């Protein structure tokens, strides 16, 4: 009898001990819930950022060259993948030396480049300005910030060849930010572009993605950029590292390249501009501006900017005779 009592008592003690051993601290549930909510918030945040980055809100165009008393023509042309692009053609005020395609950044539109085009037009260059896909008045819902946009630049070159008044002229490109990256990548494979001015071009699209977070979260930018890239690839079928002006710029030579870069740029570091210059072949030039921020070099030094770009194009476009047949 006493043996049974001892056994029952021992069983109760073991059960009590087991219950005590597996009992979780009272705050564990809150920690788990916090981690789940945090993970869900991070996933939603990176998804929304990726969606808005690939589907940028369109900025309104409220001024055209006519507001400044300039002659211009509304033009439109279609890309190889069927997207209708809208633009302006600004004829040179004198006999045209050449044509310069002026390409905007992300998420801007052609209006942002009017000051650049006005400088070139008054200096004897006909300028073609257009909105990249998913920007301004152009069709398209998705922006790849430089991946698919090379098709837009190619369509602009094709359009110029349909114009009897322009097809005999040499062509250069002045691009800013995304437009600069697109100019470099397109020129590397299309010799119709005879000279490139690239202001604030990223070296790789991956760098541009990480830069959006770098000045907010510092080195953690790579951790945020990775899930954003994963979400963005739901709408884009390429790797950001594959969009790489720094890998392409060396194939532009012997055609000329001018790199312009602000040293206070928070999105494209001045060292990236220097690296692009180092990767380019001759003839090449670089201009670093100590006080200028991202794509703000004309605003920082307007007179010097005008002088540099016109002299560059005069050397490499204006003094040449096109050999097209």
Q: What is the pLDDT of residue 231?
A: 47
Identify whether the C-beta of residue 129 lies closer than 8 Å to the C-beta of residue 99: no
- Ordered by where they begin, the domains of the chain are 1-54+218-237 (no CATH), 61-204+243-318 (3.40.50.1820)
Q: What percent of the chain has pLDDT over 90?
A: 62
The residue whose two tokens read 């003690």 is: 13
CA 102 – CA 92 distance, rounded (Å): 14
Which residues is 259 bridged to in the sheet? 198, 286
Q: Which residues contact 49 (CB under 8 A, 6 or more apart)?
A: 228, 231
What is the tens place of the pLDDT at every residue in 304-317?
Answer: 999 999 999 999 99
Task: Give the torsion through C-alpha atoms of 30, 34, 37, 42, to 10 deg.
Answer: -170
Rounded-to-10 torsion of CA 308, 306, 71, 57? 100
pLDDT digits (tens, 9 = 90+) for 229-274: 554 566 566 666 677 999 999 999 999 999 999 999 988 999 999 9
Instruction: List the structure tokens of 86.
Output: 């809208």
């Amino acid at each position: 009898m006493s043996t049974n009592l001892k056994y029952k008592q021992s069983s109760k003690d073991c059960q009590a001990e087991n219950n005590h051993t597996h009992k979780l601290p009272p705050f564990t549930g809150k920690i788990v819930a916090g981690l789940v909510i945090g993970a869900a918030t991070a996933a939603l945040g990176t998804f929304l950022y990726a969606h808005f980055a690939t589907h940028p809100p369109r900025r309104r165009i409220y001024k055209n060259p006519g507001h400044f008393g300039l002659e211009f023509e509304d033009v439109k042309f279609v890309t190889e993948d069927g997207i209708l692009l809208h633009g302006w053609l600004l004829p040179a005020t004198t006999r045209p030396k050449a044509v310069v395609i002026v390409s905007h950044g992300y998420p801007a539109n052609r209006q942002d480049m009017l000051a650049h085009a006005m400088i070139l037009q008054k200096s004897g260059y006909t300028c073609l300005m257009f909105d990249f896909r998913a920007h301004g008045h152009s069709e398209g819902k998705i922006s790849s910030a430089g991946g698919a946009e090379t098709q837009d630049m190619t369509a602009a070159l094709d359009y110029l060849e349909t114009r009897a008044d322009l097809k005999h002229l040499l062509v250069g490109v002045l691009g800013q930010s995304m437009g600069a990256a697109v100019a470099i990548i397109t020129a590397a494979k299309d010799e119709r572009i005879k000279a490139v001015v690239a202001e604030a071009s990223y070296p790789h699209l991956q760098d541009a993605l990480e830069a959006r977070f770098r000045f907010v979260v510092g080195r953690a930018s790579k951790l945020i950029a990775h899930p954003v890239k994963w979400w963005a690839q739901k709408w884009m079928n390429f790797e950001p590292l594959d969009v790489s002006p720094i890998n392409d710029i060396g194939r532009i030579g012997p055609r000329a390249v001018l790199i312009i870069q602000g040293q206070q740029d928070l999105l494209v570091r001045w060292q990236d501009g220097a690296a692009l210059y180092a990767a380019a072949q001759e003839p090449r030039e670089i201009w670093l501006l100590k006080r200028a921020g991202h794509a703000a070099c004309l605003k920082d030094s307007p007179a010097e900017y005008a002088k540099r770009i016109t002299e560059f194009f005069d050397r490499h476009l204006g003094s040449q005779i096109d050999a097209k047949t």
